[in-house]
Every structure is written in C-alpha cells, then in structure tokens.
Chains A and B, each alone.
Chain A
Amino acid sequence: MPTFNFVFWDTASGGFLESEGPVIDVVISMPTQLEAWCITNNFPVPAPVTGHALIDTGASISGIHLPVLEQLSLLPTDFIRLEGATGVEEKAPIFPARVSFPGLNLNDVTMNMVVGNQVSFHTLKGKNIIMLLGRDLLKGFTLIYNGTFNQIILSH
C-alpha cells in the first residue's frame, strides 16, 4: 500500500494547508470506451485537462467543473438528486470520466458517475481547482489530515 506525503509549506508563507485546503494534481480525460470509439470513427480525441482536485470529505460524490467535461466532449448519462447545505435538492447531471492523480502514481481511474457543476476557482496560491474529490473515491484511500504539520498523507 504505497503512501504519499503532501506538504503545504514554503519559506515565503510558512504553512498553508488551512488556507489552501488539501489539494492534489489531477488529469481528467475522456473515458477509454469513448476514446476508442472516437479513434475508430475518426473523431478527434480531446486533450486531457490538467488542474487540481480539492479533497472534500463532506461530499458523497465527486464533482468536476462542467466546462471541463464539455471540453472533453462528454455528455450526461443521467441526473441525480443532489442535496446542498440548506437541505434543498437539485437535479444534477452526471457524467462518466477518467481521472489520473500523478502525485499518487494512480492513473486512468474509471469513474462512472461524477457530478458536472460549477466547481472551478483559484486558491490563494493560484491553483486551479477543477474537481472536488468526494467519498466515492476516498473510500479506496487512507487519508491523514495533519493540520499541525501542514501535511496530508494519502495511501491506496
């Protein structure tokens, strides 16, 4: 079970785990089935989109920024009932996607259900968040949030 340490500290600003949140690199691509179909049928395969994922233990399902999914020519395969902090439900489109986490040496994870929504923002350090990594993926991980040392530890 490989273990990966992420340290949120630099000499200029000291620790920044609290302000940035637990963020890791992510690459989002077209699902392999659709990529193979596009190649066979001479359709262009969109380039993978790189950005950052914010680990969100409060989310039961992961979300990806909707324009990223559209950039990858993905179409929704269903709508789910999604509840927000106020308890209000909305219908949210879900998509299949393929994600890789270079910092975890974890490539081509097939996700059959990710919510497409407006996720994107830049952290104070300028990292472009395009994904919320929820418990549907975290169920395969051990996560240690060490706020004292501005460090997160992930193993899978």
Chain B
Amino acid sequence: MALEKELARFEALKPTLVASYDGKFALIKGDDFIGAYDSAENAYTEGVKRFGRTEFLVRKVTEREEIYINKALCLGMMNAHL
C-alpha cells in the first residue's frame, strides 16, 4: 500500500505529536518526521520542495481521526439510473 511506512511512523509518533503539535499538519517521509506546519498547504509545499514528485505523508495531528461521508462514491451509485 502507498505510504505504508509513513503511516506506521505517524502512528508510532502520534502520542508525542498530539502533545506537541495538536491541530497542525505533520510531514513525514519514510521514517523521518520532517516537521509540523500550520496548514496542509504549507506541509505539502515543503514536501514538494524537499522530495519533489515522490510520495510523502501530510496528515493532520489530532487525537481522533475524522470520518468523512460520501455516499455516492462508496456505494458505486454514480452509474445508477432509476
């Protein structure tokens, strides 16, 4: 899976990150935590600057992971004609 290493690293660091950077956006490449930024855009900009067109993780530091809802996408209802 894409970003497997970065996601594992985030989970390992999560308690520390939440304590220090709650609400900010973490930038992680491989096993390296690069930094925490005020916005996802700033984290992405730094990621592109450092790593170019390669994979890196930008994730909001928060205790509780948000659940998003998109009914049509998940059900495959986009092709339905009633």
Contact = CB atoms under 8 A, between A and B. Distances in A.
A11 to B, nearest CB: 24
A37 B52 contact: yes
B48 A33 contact: yes
Contacts of B65: 80-81
A126 interface: no
B12 interface: no
Contacts of B81: 124
A83 B66 contact: no
Contacts of A120: 78
Nearest to B27: A77
Interface in B55-82: 55-59, 65-79, 81
Contacts of A90: 74
A109 B81 CA distance: 31
13 contacts: A33-B44, A43-B53, A56-B72, A80-B66, A81-B67, A83-B70, A85-B75, A86-B74, A90-B74, A96-B44, A113-B40, A118-B76, A119-B78
